[in-house]
A = this chain, B = another copy of it.
Amino acid sequence: MPVTPRYYQAKTRLLDLLAELPDNTPFQPERELAELFGMSRTTIRKALDELVLEGKLIRRVGRQGTTVAPRGQLHRVSLDALVGDLATRESVVVRTLGGQDVVNVESVLVRGDEPIGVRSTYLRASQFPGLAETYDHDVPLRRFLAGRYGVRFGDLHPWCTTALATPRVAGLLGVRPATPLLSIAWLAHDVHGRAVERSWVVLRSDRAQLTMHLPRTDHVVRESTA
């Protein structure tokens, strides 16, 4: 009667092994672990699956195999940087979506030569004529909109949740499909209340965490739960 499942026992033992190994150490192959633990490979894999999802192990096909994930490389990305499009980007792409009045600006966020997130913004082409042709990819998008079109952005209420990587995003980030990611989205208005920008960002949560700023609340606390 396995009160605790065998795969969870395996996970615990693997965690202990893991804790004493330096970064990038090659791990034993799944078949060896299965024999060593007296469990089937399926069971070992279930334990390894969770450790990979938690970012503690890295799996690669071929002779390289499973290795201990480099630790202490959690990049901190501020909400300001995401919204203002201030993070280091590469492969910035501007698309006009098929026949529609929508322009999509997509970029891959990078820290230390690693892709850590994807940022995607949707704008109305009619509101920003010539954007797709004139956007300078080196300028943060929000700054470009302010400079070229005189947009004055108002307050923002972003929201945050988790999402599983779609096959497309997984390819961009170098993770497996269905990897849990941190998802941040917002709908931006200008100071006159006009909707301007619809954006979302997904972050590899094993590589980056989102930092926010909350100014002091001067002891008058509202019941703002909704």
* A interface residues with partner B (beta carbon < 8 Å): 8, 50, 53-54, 76-81, 83-84, 86-88, 140, 142-143, 146, 152-162, 164, 167, 177-178, 180-182, 191, 205, 209-217, 219, 221-226
Contact B164 A212 (CB under 8 A): no
- Residue in chain B with minimal CB distance to A140: B221
Known: A152-B219, A180-B162, A181-B162. A214 touches B86 (CB 8 A): no
Instruction: List, in ascending order, chain B residues with CB within 8 A of A222's CB.
Output: 80
Q: A152-B219, A224-B81 are in contact. Are A159 and B214 (CB under 8 A)?
A: no
A154-B219 Cα distance, complex, nearest whole Å: 10
Contact of A53 among B164, B210, B224 (CB under 8 A): B164
Q: Which residues of B contact A8 (CB under 8 A)?
A: 167, 177
